[in-house]
Amino acid sequence: MARSKQGRDDRRVVKRDASERKGVPRDLEAFASGDDDAIWRRKQRKRLNDPRSVMLVPGVANRDARSVYHAREARTRRLIEAGEDDAVTLELREARQLRLWRGQSLVSWEAYVENVLGLDAREVEPRLAGAEPENDETVAAWMRAEAGLLEGDPDGAVRLVDGRLVIAVPLECAPTALASIGRRAAPLAKDETGATHSVVDRPKGVRRLSKLMEPPSED
Q: Report d(CA 45, CA 137) in Å as an integer.
A: 10
Q: Report d(CA 72, CA 83) in Å as an integer.
A: 16
- Give the tens place of pLDDT for each residue, 176-207: 999 999 999 888 876 554 444 444 455 555 55
Mean pLDDT for all residues in the chain: 81
Query: In this structure, are strands 164-167 and 158-161 parallel, antiparallel, or unpaired?
Result: antiparallel
Q: What is the pTM of this model?
A: 0.67
- Give the tens place of pLDDT for each residue, 102-121: 999 999 999 999 999 999 99
pLDDT-derived band at 218 (thresholds 50, 70, 90) equals low
Side chain identity at residue 47, one-letter code: R
Give the angle 47-142-103 at the CA atoms, nearest 5°.
90
H or E segment at 151?
helix 136-152
Query: SS3 of 29, please?
Result: helix
Top-confidence residue, 146 or 16: 146
Predicted local distance difference test score (pLDDT) of residue 188: 81
